[in-house]
Structure 1
Amino acid sequence: MDRLTSHAELLSLSGDDPWVRWALPDPLQGEVWVHDSVALVQRLGPRPGFWVAPLRGRGPTTAEATRVRTALSELRQGGHLRRLGARAVSVPQEHAEVAHDVLDLGDGGDWDWMWTTSQPPVDAGGRDVIPLDDRRDAAELERFTREHNPRVWTEIGTGRVHHWVGVRGPDGGLVAVGGAEREATGVPHLAGIVTATQHRGAGLATVVSAALTRWALAGHGACTLGMFSDNAAARSVYARLGFRTARAWHSRMLAFGDGSASGHG
């Protein structure tokens, strides 16, 4: 495996991949390796591990699955998972079977990393969007998101979401909310987009997402998000707003039985 330290080199090898450009910081953090045109990018934070990203500067090839298998084997057999305290890996969804064959993987999820640099159309409903505060409104945001989307991963009240907006109904209660975190690059990353169950289908998710996207583009020129891959309704909303999928990830925790990661919970 070849060690990389240059973000510019990784971006070039990837063919200007939006995920590399907007999600990975410059300078690179942690360890980054390339093996047979597959990048192995150390992921820091609360779920340390690796992104396994084929570099598609020339587009996918028929041998990609084989190259992913070899890269994962190098990662495991070289002791890098144990050495760096890895607890999880994310691989392209189309190579999930390969990953499970090479590594002992546990629970996780399938999700899309999406991006846009295009301004969404202005919606008249945008004038109903109001600012919310991550700390002042934390209790209300927490109740609302847990009630209407139990799968939400967003941290509320910690400062991680630095920009919240919402829409209130006639009774003053929230009917839709959304926020923005920051990628390691500083680019806004949409999070916690939730519509009240009884108000779904009214376009409120589009209104909130569009307002956040316009705000993100005005300040940074790009906006990203992550969505569960099985959420067809969300996919439709984001497609209308100009978002495209750059990476469809299969993210899984390393099982305790994996010898390469034993001892890391």
Structure 2
Amino acid sequence: MPGPTPLSSYAALLAAAAGDPFVEHEVGPDLLAPPLALGGAVLYRRMTQLGFTGAVCLGPAPDVRALLRSEWRGHPGWAAERSITVEATHRGLLEDLGVRGLGEWHTMSALPGQLDLRPVPAGVMVERTLARDVARAFVGEHHTARWITPDPEGEMWVAVRARGTGELLGTGLAAYTPSGATRLTSIAIHRDRRCQGLGRLVTQALAEVGFERSPAVVLGVDQDNIVGRTLYAAMGFRLDHELVSGILPPAAPVSGRRVASTATGTTRESQRQRGLP
């Protein structure tokens, strides 16, 4: 089979991806590298919530295998690529290719009207805007700010407070993806108030505000976060892909020179979601 063919435009990428929500909701018109296609498989670069970039390859299994076993990093814009994400069923392929630091995670999405929205329970209230310094201080105290970038595009915080006292019980962060969808990025609950349904309430508040400004709300969650996956599915988020991500070995030398091995992705792509409960 011949090698992959470069796609000339954003429209060509969308057409090759055949309406895949992971592409439509997370890749914007300003492409980060020329996408490649081989058969029904497509390879493109996406931006994670942490500001790193990484390659994603989706499509029929035989075509994905053929593309990733080709000299795709010899194409313009791909020589230094180190991060790769594929369907979790291709984990063995990544292992064969020497990919390390593998982590499995799920990407989920929802459109307006698809979520099971519940009334705010008695005793608490939702605050649809929260000052970023207050929110970030709360996250640092009750969770971790490790997975929050300094200035995400479209940064938006919500909060849940105790009715009467105003005590801050939980916060949630969302930001824009490059395509304009709203990505749920971080949820933190007061350490003394966990397992009381507040995580769902914060998630719902983020989604409601997200739908007011975006055509879709998306999130990612680690495969081993069964509680989180169960919650999001129960709320109505649709499972788009079960994925595995990792770091590629350095590319082979080209024209007598070793290709630079500067990493462009995270060690474990699934780490981007550890800010979610």
TM-score range, shorter chain: 0.7 to 0.9
Which residue in the other structure is 2:161 paired with? 168
Preserved CA contact (<8 Å) 2:21 2:240:
yes
The residue type paired with residue 168 of structure 1 is R
User: Is 1:253 aligned to 2:261, yes or no?
Assistant: no
Q: 1:168, 1:217 → 2: CA distance?
A: 22
Preserved CA contact (<8 Å) 1:134 1:158:
no
**Deviation for aligned residue 1:27:** 4.9
**Deviation for aligned residue 1:29:** 3.5
Preserved CA contact (<8 Å) 1:135 1:158:
no
Spell out, residue by residue over 1:26-51, the C-alpha distance to the aligned partner (whole angstroms, 9 max, x if none).
Answer: 25342100012111102457534311
Q: 2:206, 2:174 → 1: CA distance?
A: 7
Deviates more, 1:167-176 or 1:2-11: 167-176
Preserved CA contact (<8 Å) 1:47 1:87:
no
Which residue in the other structure is 2:91 paired with? 96
**Deviation for aligned residue 1:21:** 1.5
Spell out, residue by residue over 1:153-202, the C-alpha distance to the aligned partner (whole angstroms, 9 max, x if none).
Answer: 233x4345610112234775543221101111121100112334443331
Which residue in the other structure is 2:69 paired with? 73
User: Is 1:202 aligned to 2:200, yes or no?
Assistant: no
What is the root-mean-square deviation of aligned Cα atoms in Å?
A: 2.8
The residue type paired with residue 54 of structure 2 is G
Distance 1:28 1:189, change over 3 A: same
User: Is 1:21 aligned to 2:18, yes or no?
Assistant: no
Distance 1:175 1:136, change over 3 A: closer
Give the fraction of aligned pairs with identical amino acids, expressed as a percent. Answer: 24
Q: TM-score, normalised by structure 1?
A: 0.81
Q: TM-score, normalised by structure 2?
A: 0.78
The residue type paired with residue 11 of structure 1 is L
Preserved CA contact (<8 Å) 1:48 1:85:
no
Deviates more, 1:133-142 or 1:184-193: 133-142
What is the aligned residue count?
Answer: 248
Identify unmatched segments of 5+ residues in structure 1: 55-63
Distance 1:66 1:221, change over 3 A: closer
Which residue in the other structure is 1:133 paired with? 131
Spell out, residue by residue over 1:219-248, the C-alpha distance to the aligned partner (whole angstroms, 9 max, x if none).
Answer: 222111111121111112211222111122
Preserved CA contact (<8 Å) 1:160 1:181:
yes
Preserved CA contact (<8 Å) 1:25 1:185:
yes
Which residue in the other structure is 2:104 paired with? 110
